[in-house]
């Protein structure tokens, strides 16, 4: 069974640009959540989608948004990138049992 797949793995963007990250959950998992990991703040919850609806949201500005498609795949978007947005962005999927599995992450560097 394939795990959580995230693309791209690495990317470099310039301040002011926008970026879209993609996530394919484990087959059969309907919940997809996103996390940001930085050295200073650790792992922080961004938002969760379930059946194409945002179910929970963390404390991030509106520049961070996401969506989920009917096949449970999800994308997150960050607009007007800032240097502080440089981080590892992790996608996770969970089944009804509640165990949450993470992908390898997308490393974003903003220059």
Q: CA 98 to CA 75: how far, in whole Å? A: 21
Token pair for residue 96? 């009804």
Q: Which of 43, 61, 63, 80 binds other proteins (CB under 8 A)?
A: 43
Q: What is the DSSP letter of 84?
A: G
3-state DSSP assignment of residue 80: coil
Q: Which of 58, 65, 67, 73 binds other proteins (CB under 8 A)?
A: 58
Q: Which is nearer to other proteins, 24 or 33 (CB)?
A: 33
CB of 80 to other proteins, least distance (A): 25
Cβ distance 81 to 18 under 8 Å? Answer: yes
Where along the sequence are the contacts to other proteins (CB under 8 A)? Answer: 4, 6, 31, 33, 35, 42-45, 48, 50, 55-56, 58, 90, 92, 94, 98-105, 107
């Amino acid at each position: 069974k394939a795990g959580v797949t995230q693309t791209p793995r690495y990317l470099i963007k310039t301040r002011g640009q926008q970026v879209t990250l993609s996530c394919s959950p484990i087959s059969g998992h309907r919940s997809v959540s996103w996390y940001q990991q930085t050295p200073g703040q650790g792992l922080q919850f961004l938002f969760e989608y379930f059946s194409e609806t945002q179910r929970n949201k963390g404390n991030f500005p509106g520049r961070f948004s996401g969506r989920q498609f009917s096949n449970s795949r999800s994308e997150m978007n960050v607009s007007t990138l800032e240097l502080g947005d440089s981080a590892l962005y992790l996608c996770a999927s969970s089944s009804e049992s509640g165990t949450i599995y993470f992908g390898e992450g997308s490393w974003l560097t903003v220059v």
